Structure 1
Amino acid sequence: MSKFGDLINSPVPVLLHFCSDHNVECNQMNKILEDVSLEMGDKLSIIKIDILKNKELTEALRIKTIPTLMVYKNGAMVWRQSGMIDKSSLVTIAKAFN
């Protein structure tokens, strides 16, 4: 968990994408996040977390549905959503925390 703390303790917003490579919606979300990354550049960090390889973290954060997206800033969760979201909405959310 200390590595997780290092990931989220940043003044730049960090978007965590909890997913599985075997999930269709997660794969669709990956494409959307690539576009968000291109638009936001260094104003947003995006980290993909495979729930099957990170079961302890998934349980600790009570991830029940994938994809689940979370935004952390300075170590605190500032936004969370389960399910799909479009690029425009994600960019708006990311910009709100810059």
Structure 2
Amino acid sequence: MTELLVADETNFDQLVLRADKPVLVDFWAQWCPPCHQIVPILQQIAVERADRLTVVKVNSDENPAISSNYRVMALPTLMLFQHGELIWSVVGARPKAKLLKELDDALLTAV
């Protein structure tokens, strides 16, 4: 499986806010079972959509400033950024097909 990019307080701006393509950010924590359940789906999406989407993980416990800045209140929280702007977010794990549909809908409406 593909290793997902890891963002922290030192590289979040570069990896997410200054990215030249949309970025799906997974806010997670080690103690969160649904966070671990969604990892294989995110890895598949990272590979299948590598040409048009980047997937990044942020450990909320290790990066509280980022989580606080984006008001992450529950895990996992997925946020989609485009051109440095938050355009979509959702809380909780979901099946791959549903997640892809939601991502595609968010990207279409953000254009």
Q: TM-score, normalised by structure 2?
A: 0.77
Equivalent residue for 1:57? 66
Which stretches in structure 1 are left out of the alignment for 5+ residues? none
What's the CA shift for 1:26? 0.2
Q: Root-mean-square deviation (CA), in Å?
A: 1.9
Matched, 1:92 2:101: yes
**2:43 & 2:32 partners in 1: Cα distance?**
17
The amino acid that maps onto 2:83 is N
Higher helix share goes to which structure?
1
Matched, 1:38 2:38: no
What's the CA shift for 1:2? 7.4
**1:67 & 1:87 partners in 2: Cα distance?**
15
Instruction: Pick 1 or 2: higher relative contact order, CA cutoff 8 A, min separation 6.
Output: 1
**Superposed structure 1 runs of 4+ greater than 6 Å apart:** none
The percentage of aligned residue pairs carrying the same residue is 24
Aligned length: 98
Once structures 1 and 2 are overlaid, which stretch shifts more, 78-87 or 65-74? 78-87
